[in-house]
């Protein structure tokens, strides 16, 4: 099952959709001890990009192909996700995984057409 992530309405050039292959089962991690109440928010595309590149050891090109976006976009998502994860660990903040946009289910037969 795959999902298409659409960024919320914003001014300027419309964002392209990003394919999300796996939605997280857990959406919040809390450190012990928690040094700050303020959460660090990671969105679905950032989590998916860092999962492909760091967990599944895919190249940026392969991750971009799976996500239906450019290599540069994947690079920016991974860079942002890594910074947020390290900030949460180093500052003892909760890490929240947020939808921050619209998600719709995509049938496997339609994925190739996106």
In a domain, 93, yes or no: yes
pTM: 0.81
In a domain, 35, yes or no: yes
Do the Cβ atoms of 110 and 14 come closer than 8 Å? Answer: no
Q: List, for residues 50-88, the tens digit of each pLDDT value.
A: 999 999 999 999 999 999 899 999 999 999 999 999 999
Distance between CA atoms of residues 93 and 40, nearest Å: 7
Q: List, for residues 40-53, the tens digit of each pLDDT value.
A: 999 999 999 999 99
DSSP of 6-32: EEPP-SSSPPPPEEES---S--EE--S
**Over the Cα atoms of the chain, what is R_g?**
15
In a domain, 19, yes or no: no
Structurally, the chain folds into a number of domains equal to: 1
In a domain, 63, yes or no: yes
In a domain, 39, yes or no: yes
Full residue range of the structural domain in which residue 43 is found: 2-7+24-111
In a domain, 17, yes or no: no
In a domain, 83, yes or no: yes
């Amino acid at each position: 099952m795959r999902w298409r992530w659409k960024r919320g309405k914003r001014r300027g050039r419309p964002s392209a959709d990003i394919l999300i292959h796996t939605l997280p089962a857990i959406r919040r991690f809390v450190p012990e001890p928690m040094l700050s109440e303020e959460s660090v928010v990671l969105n679905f595309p950032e989590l998916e990009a860092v999962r492909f590149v760091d967990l599944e050891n895919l190249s940026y090109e392969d991750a971009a192909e799976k996500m239906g976006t450019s290599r540069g976009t994947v690079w920016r998502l991974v860079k942002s996700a890594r910074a947020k994860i390290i900030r949460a660990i180093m500052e003892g903040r909760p890490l929240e995984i947020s939808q921050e946009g619209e998600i719709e289910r995509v049938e496997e037969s339609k994925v190739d057409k996106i």
